Chain A
Amino acid sequence: MTLTAPRDELALVDLLDRLLAGGVVLAGDVTISLAGVDLVHVSLRALISSVSTLVEP
């Protein structure tokens, strides 16, 4: 078994698993394509709904 502390250089894919599929989010799932590979499900709609407040403050 290999044990790595997250403080060391984390694999970006592992980080993205969590940052794009985990965490507190509002709704909706869209798959974004990374390097031509469907890897992560990013909640683009939620993301955009948070961001849309930028347009009309």
Chain B
Amino acid sequence: MTGEALYVYAIADSDLAEAEVAALRAIDDGFINVITEAPVAAVVSTVDADKFSASALRENLEDLHWLEGIARAHNTVVSDLARQRPVAPVRLATVFVSEDNVREMLRTRAQDFAGALDRVRGRCEWALKGFLITGSVTAKPSGSTESSSPGRSYLERRRAERESRNLQLESVFAEAETLHQRLDGLSLASKRYPLQDRRLTGYRDEMVLNAAYLLPEGEPTELRRAVDNGQSQQLRLELVGPWAPYSFATLE
């Protein structure tokens, strides 16, 4: 299989003009095009069909370097566009063989896409990550008694340390949960993500909260204040945004 394929980045309203996307940088330095089927339009670029075939993708998605390049290019297009108008980002690496196929997809799912766009119109996403602060253990093992045997004493100490850590994890997870409920109340919608593994975050601290919140565009004053107040000696928080509404422009 050779030739070209169309990579789809996002869906937008059909008043999107080519001029608005002309300056955006596409994957492999391609050009961004707009395919319009009112009331919606697809933001696409031409890619090498061989690199995006089903079998190539299965391999490429496991190649972190390749994946990172595509992910960053995809996000740049989506977030640049999201600063100008409502967009529904499309899942990474969605590829069509021809313009006709894209048009058919747009026609078939027009209602769904219009609904997704309406859900995020004038809104953006904020990401919050919470971490247990390493070394913040305060609870002392209870009833630590002197043992006659040094070996036994060591085991008892280890057990007490484990118990103390578990208690602290429980308490920091509860803190994070309470905070999430508060933030959810301040948001139009929220979404939880699986906790990230330390091997991937590169952080020493263990993640206890990974969530996204949908808010009106602009400064998220209340959310930020609640996050500030939610920090504690054992809970560290990172608020990142605004993101394009990846977590909320989904199809139900």
Contacts and interface: CB of A to CB of B under 8 A. Distances in A.
B242 A6 contact: yes
Contacts of A43: 91
Nearest to A19: B92
Interface string A8-31: 001111111111111111000000
A16 B194 CA distance: 12
B238 A4 contact: yes
A30 B244 CA distance: 24
A19 B246 contact: yes
Contact of A50 (B71, B95, B98, B243): B95
Given A14-B127, A24-B116, A51 B199 contact: no
A22 B57 contact: no
Given A6-B243, A35-B200, A39-B197, A54 B249 contact: no
A42 to B, nearest CB: 7
B1 A55 contact: yes
Contacts of A48: 54, 57
A25 to B, nearest CB: 4
Interface residues of A, number: 43
Interface of chain B, main secondary structure:
mixed
Interface string B38-65: 0000000000010011100110011010
A54 B79 contact: no
A25 B101 contact: no
Contacts of B68: 12
Interface of chain A, main secondary structure:
mixed
B98 A25 contact: no
Contacts of B201: 11, 13
B193 interface: yes
Contacts of A18: 75, 89, 212, 243, 246-247
Contact of B193 (A4, A7, A21, A34): A21
B57 A6 contact: no
A24 B238 contact: no
A50 B238 contact: no
A52 B71 CA distance: 21
B200 A34 contact: yes
Given A1-B239, A14-B240, A18-B243, A24 B113 contact: yes
Contacts of A17: 193, 196, 210
Given A6-B79, A53-B96, A24 B197 contact: no
A42 B53 contact: no
A4 B128 CA distance: 11
Interface of A: 1-7, 10-25, 32-37, 39, 42-44, 46-48, 50-55, 57
By Cβ-Cβ distance, the 3 closest A-B pairs, closest first, are: A22-B246, A18-B246, A25-B91
